[in-house]
Structure 1
């Protein structure tokens, strides 16, 4: 009598284990793939600047401008001429300013001198007027004395004239008429009369009448 067909357990178990292993591998592969894509999508950090033994590298500053090319002989001569002309122009302007200041100073000095001269002229005119007035008064006084002495007797007039100062005596005798002066001189003291006659002659010689 034949027994019923039964599948063997070992092959079935091996097949089941293979399927489980394949499923696990597929699941592991699916988990790693997104993580790799995420890592790939993240941007890489910028590279760090190289460092030296003393510290980080310094950032270079702005470059200095390039040196100007040397001037040619013609350009150097032209520049020298321009500098000389500029210096001469400045010197001329300085001298012109000094001359203008001197002219202003001279003008002010001339004005002050002119004003002072006008003041001196006015003072001189006033003094001359005062002297003229005084001289006129003195002349009028002497003329009055002359008339008095001429009206007196010669001896009385001589007594008074003997005591007068010589300048006043000379002015009186010089203005008296000779007919009146001669008797008065004869009546005066002899030494006084001689001195008066000598001085009167000298006075008339120095200042002759017109």
Structure 2
């Protein structure tokens, strides 16, 4: 007998549900289930329940305010992050421009030095020696290192021995510093 009652109960419970689904009233059914009953429904005359309900409302308001302040801070942080990313992009662009400018300046200096070396290569050794002895020793050594070896040897031979020794020492020191 119990075997006959279970299917009948299942049909009795399922029929209203199927009727609601057929009428597309499922959202109404779910919203009725999802909506909580009024907090003080039936408890308005109990002071403890009223106090508890008020405290819960106060807490809910504080939580809402706190969440709003978190959202505000989050928006501020996103704005600051955007500003920082833009500034970083600007700084990287400036760094690239400065690097390009520095590379251009370096190339210009190299070109000037190469031209100066070509001039000393074309000079007579005695004339080049007279000029180099009046230059600072490290600068003169740099020129001597860069000219063609034959020209450099003739220039050093034309310099007085004391100055030639100093220039040779400077040339050696330069080679040690810049391997």
In the superposition, the TM-score normalised over structure 1's length comes to: 0.54
Secondary structure of residue in 2 paired with 1:163:
coil
Selected match of 2:92 from 121, 124, 135: 121
CA distance in 2, matches of 1:191, 1:79: 108
Residues 167/134 of structure 1: CA separation in 2 closer, same or farther (3 Å cut): farther
| Offset from partner CA, 1:59-94 (integer Å, 9 cap, x none) | xxxxxxxxxxxx97xx33323332332232222222
Residues 1-210 of structure 1 aligned to structure 2 (within 5 Å): 75-166=46-137, 168-190=139-161, 192-208=163-179
CA distance in 2, matches of 1:190, 1:167: 17
In the superposition, the TM-score normalised over structure 2's length comes to: 0.62
Residues 171/88 of structure 1: CA separation in 2 closer, same or farther (3 Å cut): farther
Q: Gaps spanning 5+ residues in structure 1: where? A: 1-70
User: Relative contact order (alpha carbons < 8 A, sep ≥ 6): 1 or 2 greater?
Assistant: 2
Secondary structure of residue in 1 paired with 2:59:
helix
Q: Gaps spanning 5+ residues in structure 2: where? A: 1-43
Greater helix content:
2
Residues 98/165 of structure 1: CA separation in 2 closer, same or farther (3 Å cut): farther
CA distance in 2, matches of 1:207, 1:101: 58
Q: Tell me, yes or no, if the aligned pair for 2:138 and 2:167 is still in contact at 8 Å.
A: no
Larger CA deviation: 108-117 vs 160-169? 160-169
CA distance in 2, matches of 1:107, 1:196: 63
| Offset from partner CA, 1:126-183 (integer Å, 9 cap, x none) | 2211211111111111111112212222221111122334564344233223332233
- Number of equivalent positions: 136
CA distance in 1, matches of 2:138, 2:95: 26
Q: Tell me, yes or no, if the aligned pair for 1:155 and 1:187 is still in contact at 8 Å.
A: yes
| Offset from partner CA, 1:46-70 (integer Å, 9 cap, x none) | xxxxxxxxxxxxxxxxxxxxxxxxx
Residues 78/168 of structure 1: CA separation in 2 closer, same or farther (3 Å cut): farther
CA distance in 2, matches of 1:76, 1:194: 108
Q: Tell me, yes or no, if the aligned pair for 1:142 and 1:171 is still in contact at 8 Å.
A: no
Q: Tell me, yes or no, if the aligned pair for 2:138 and 2:170 is still in contact at 8 Å.
A: no
Secondary structure of residue in 1 paired with 2:134:
coil
Equivalent position of 2:30 in the other structure: none
Q: Which is greater in Rg?
A: 1
